[in-house]
Amino acid sequence: MATPSSQPVFRATTTAPVNIAVIKYWGKRDTTLNLPTNSSLSVTLSQKSLRTLTTASCSPSYPTEDTLNLNGRPQEIQSSKRTLACISSLRTLRKSLEDADSSLPKLSSYPLRIVSENNFPTAAGLASSAAGFAALVRAVADLYQLPQSPRELSRIARQGSGSACRSLMGGYVAWRTGELADGTDSLAEEVAPASHWPEMRAIVLVVSAEKKDVSSTEGMQTTVATSELFAQRVSSVVPERMTAIEEAIRDKDFPKFAEITMRDSNTFHATCLDSWPPIFYMNDVSRAAVRLVHDINNAVGRTVAAYTYDAGPNSVIYYEEKDTELVAGTIKSILGATAGGWDGPFYEPLANVTSSVSLEKTDPRVLDVLKNGISRVILTGVGEGPISVEDHLVTETGEMVNQ
């Protein structure tokens, strides 16, 4: 795939983070535009542990079709309406810049070569689509030197995967459902930067890195069509929780943040169970982690930990740095220091942690299920949005860098 050196190759590379919602997006009111039935709110996680790296490049010398290579494998993007929708919106914005300034190179007319890698399992409930589409949109927008803000770009990333619109920003991010039929007001916005509440930590208990049975897209449509609980979630439960959790974030009120987070995860999974046929994302290991978190909070006498589950069995447990020993230390005492492959940017401080909460009231079977069921533990925390880097996955002459 060598490119003649006389032809220029334009490149831009970015990293993008995953985000884990504390008020869940579940349900679409428009499947083509990918518009949600309710607002949602997430915490962007540090890219020191989980991140997508994407290079967008274009050249007049590339073969005619746009291409995307993910983790070393060519993807069928011509049949991926979502990827095509993102690329087409970005190209239209570039074209209008070129129409207004004839001195600009005609990048919008060149084929794109996009190369991406996720440093964690794809399609396994670790929000790869969120980081992946956010990185794709940010990288192409940078390549095209678009002036649009992350908020404006979130409208485009949303078409790739709803949750991706929240990964264009760091910290605490809301995706407002919007009211307009064309979706122009359905955008993500930063509620607070990571620096407002940098003490927020997250421990990810990887229960399964397998591809899940029911995709989020399919699962949420079944829920919208069949769950009787769902209407109430959308009309009153989520709007009240959005207001309350934004107050909790503003006041850095962890117990309030934690209760809303756990309740919203539970309500979301209740609507899955109430779907017809029912959808199960949590399993015995997930439920054991729920029990553990409640036991830790009871033993400590205040709420120090909050679980949440996406469309899969993996637990994400939020806590504040000051409670690292009580939360991460206790989990380490159950799983062992090395069992489960602990890693992440916040692991080092845990190396010497010995104290933990007494779990004498916890059913020993819960501890066994956790010990046997968790394959990996990632210690991370709130982090920044996409970062522009020079670590290109496409060479100056347009070839893919060997990964």
Binding site for ligand DP6 (CB under 6 A): 21, 24-26, 34, 40, 129, 161-163, 216-217, 310-311
User: Which residues fall within 8 angstroms of residue 243, CB to CB, at 6 or more apart?
Assistant: none
Binding of ligand ATP by 126 (CB under 6 A):
yes
Binding of ligand ATP by 14 (CB under 6 A):
no
Compute the least distance from the CB of residue 125 to ligand DP6, in Å: 8
Pick from 91, 136, 118, 138: which is nearest to 388 by CA?
138
Question: Using H for helix, E for strand and C for coil, what is the string for 186-210?
Answer: CCEEEEECHHHCCCEEEEEEECCCC
User: What is the Cα 277 distance to its own chain's centre?
Assistant: 27
Q: What is the CA radius of gyration of the chain?
A: 22
Binding of ligand ATP by 216 (CB under 6 A):
yes
Binding of ligand ATP by 129 (CB under 6 A):
yes
Q: Please select the residue that binds ligand ATP; options are 116, 186, 324, 356, rule is CB under 6 A.
A: 116
- Tell me how far apart the alpha carbons of residues 59 and 112 are, in angstroms, rounded to a whole number: 7
Compute the least distance from the CB of residue 77 to ligand ATP, in Å: 9
Looking at the Cβ atoms of 8 and 239, the one nearer to ligand DP6 is: 239
- Tell me how far apart the alpha carbons of residues 200 and 42 are, in angstroms, rounded to a whole number: 12
Which residue lies nearest ligand ATP, judged by its C-beta? 132
- Binding partner of residue 12 among ligand ATP, ligand DP6, none, CB cut-off 5 to 8 Å per kind: none
Binding of ligand ATP by 123 (CB under 6 A):
yes
Selected range binding ligand ATP among 30-38, 125-133, 175-183, 296-304, rule: CB under 6 A: 125-133
Residue whose pair of structure tokens reads 């090395």 in the numeric block: 338
CB 146 within 8 A of CB 183: no
- Tell me how far apart the alpha carbons of residues 242 and 260 are, in angstroms, rounded to a whole number: 9
Cα-based distances in Å from 390 to 12, 55, 56, 293: 8, 9, 12, 41
The residue count for binding ligand ATP (CB under 6 A) is 22
Pattern 158-197, binding to ligand ATP, x per CB under 6 A?
A: ----------------------------------------
Compute the least distance from the CB of residue 106 to ligand DP6, in Å: 32
Q: Using alpha carbons only, what angle is made at residue 338 by residues 254 and 291, rounded to the nearest 5 degrees?
A: 40
Binding of ligand ATP by 47 (CB under 6 A):
no
Please give the residue ranges that form the binding site for ligand ATP (CB under 6 A).
52, 70, 116, 118, 122-130, 132-133, 135-136, 215-216, 310-312
